[in-house]
Structure 1
Amino acid sequence: MIKKLLIANRGEVVARITRTCREMGIKTVAVFSEADRDAAYLSTADEAVSIGPANPLLSYLNMDAIIGAAQTTNADAVHPGYGFLSERAIFAQAVSDAGLTWVGPSSTVMKRISSKCYCRHLADSADVPFIPGTMDPVNDPQEVVVFGRKHGYPLLLKLDKGGGGKGIERVDSEDQVEAIFQRACSIGNMAFGSSACYIEQLVHQPRHIEIQFVADDYGNCVLLGERECSIQRRHQKIIEEAPSVIVTDDERQMLFEYARRMVRKMEYHGAGTLEGLRSEDGNYYFMEVNARLQVEHGVSEMLTDTDIVKCQLEIASGQPLHFRQEDVRMRGHAIEARIYAEDPETFLPSPGKIVELQLPETGTNLRVDHALQANSSVPPYYDPLLAKVIARGQNRTEARNHLINALREFRIEGIKTTITANLKILGHPKFEQGDFTTAFLEESFG
């Protein structure tokens, strides 16, 4: 079993991972940049090590500094959290080359599935439906034009190695192709080191449905239900829930079978997520694999009483999963609202100092994952996620009401946050009825 874990990340996910480590008797090491030197979450770890200046390229994305911190503190494993280096196969390999245990799928698997086109071929071979489009990257704008003339517009141009909602461009007409193709390639080179793009046909009125799984080295693959993640802005999730109100029991079993096939084909070990879309006519399409702990993993944990981080650590330590599919029970309904340091109207970042903080009271049916403290600063250099509030109820109505009450009790003064935006969404009649798609925000609030 892992004895000492370095968490190569910042913010609330550090506090989340250290909580499980304490329960498992695993020592922890946090890392921090100069901007986070006084961050409250650092105290949740047994040790904290400086890895560089505020610029993430010189700290949280600095592989040598992070591995050096692990070696200096005698850590024997590295957990990447999410974001930053979490899906970089080269980092996973560097960790392994340094003689440390990587908490996640192997670097070989990560490198393969970082290509969405590879995953599309994989889905094809596993007889798993995927969004129609090109199987391989397109080489120039003219290929997009030819595809558009044959299949029609609008269509989506997507980065083969994109992620986090970046590099997804809608093309509505032929005269847009050249500019959008160049923009997508530029984003790909800057953000992901690859300009390769492929084409997907637009799925009309889709809902975003994803399957959480954990798979060990002994052939055990356990599915922890589906999550509905359709409430998004700029392709980034805001509110997630489980189970989805639109997925039937038969459809759930079908999605589970698709997931098992994909996991076997990938030879995947660890925790991961298969993301997909449900079209307005009820067809389900595989979209991509997230080879890491998801921001919204807590929704599945609340619903199934499962500690996904514990599963990750057991699998990385070479142990079999401590439960099987028949042991999983989905109890009631769970909904999560993400709180960002953003203007609730424009969703523009709002860094600054938190001058007053009041958290809702947590318990069996309410969880708040955060790294907040009064009189602390929210730096402008990183993702503006502040906290996640997760509520569970015997049914969706009860879970929603719990979440609304918790958000009303949550106060953060000194910076703008998306709490009021979350309340507007949760209070909207269409959300209350479960009648929404990924276009909900644009259609409901403009």
Structure 2
Amino acid sequence: MKKAILSILSMVLLFSLAACGGSNSSASDSKGNDGKQEITMWGSWSGDQIKQLNKQIASYNKSQDKYKVKYVMQENVEEKLLTGIAGGELPDIIMWDRYQTALYAPKGVLEPLDSLVKKDKVNLDNFYEESVKEMTYSDKLYGLPLLNDNRVLFYNKKLLQEAGVTPPTTWDELATVAQKTTKWDGNKLTQAGMSLQDVGLFNLYLMQAGGDLLTPDNKKTAFNSKQGLEVLNYWDKMQNDLKVYQRGFDDGSDAFAAGKEAMTYNGPWALADYNKIDTLDYGVVEPPKGPNGDNGAIMGGFGLVMPKQTKHKDGAWDFMKWWTTKPENGVEFAKISGWLPANKVAAANEYFTKDPNYSVFVNTMKYAKIRPTVAGYADVEGLAMKPQLEKFMNGNISAQKALSQAEKEGNNILKEERENNK
């Protein structure tokens, strides 16, 4: 259904672009009472995150007297972009998950930034290479990386100390520590040694096992492999042999935050919330190495893009540069939000490097990789991989069956996407 909707919207979009000639200009030149040109930014952040964004935006608005940025929250911001182009209602900037770039760039709805980067001599080497790659499609850059994240291992210091163990550095150690920190009351799990709830972390474990998600030509899936099977066998051992976890233990709650889980994977966004819990004494370490000593971590995050028909290109670009290329602004937003900057110079600030928790995320970023930037891969994970892995973890199908079925469905998705983009 999602593909059908996107296909229809893309057709509408093509007619719209043809009608307007794909122009980036507009007769509209809206200005506020203060004489500043108004720049609108869309994003999906809501709740307290809006306050965080508004605080950062206020700093920019005060830093110069030409532009005034305003944030507008949009649900399903990516699809709203397509309907917005067809209807003529568009923002000047969009803050979105960089992962969406490979899906929407082929549709011709994003403004390439290569000429602006060259004109203003923006040094892309100051960003994490993987984050730039995630905003690139067909050798064109469609956005500037803004925020980074990865997953590291959080552990409860008290629970590990009570069990007489130290934070793990390998899969074998992870299994041992998880087993020794698990508690059962009859058939009821009262304290989990390690969370295994999120099957979406398969990609992280696969990297630690030395495996690949796609073939080198990016045309087929590659996770139905010796390494993929090794991951699922490891999960099976942890859940069903060592019994360090039970399905549903985390449902509707954060068992780690409640002190009922010894270890879990989480991102930098969790630090601020966990720091508010007086009863939680936690630490973080880099992801444990796989059976052959391989490091593995997944990088993600947000970036800033312009719609193809941005009305105020100069203002949008000015704001994008201010936030992403000036390290001090990246550090300042980290203090506001808890997110890591995608700018390496900013991430090297002592605010991160001297913090025992942030420094772990920064160190992990040295080898963290993005997921494949291939149109359709998001659906491979969401529609093919995760459902089959859930069936496996629930005991409904074998590991090999889960991988084989996910491979079949995933390859069909990738093939269909290639044909749609011809």
TM (norm. structure 2) is 0.28
Larger Rg: 2
Q: Which structure features the higher share of strand residues?
A: 1
Q: Which structure features the higher share of helix residues?
A: 2
- Structure with the greater relative contact order (CA < 8 A, sep ≥ 6): 1 or 2? 2
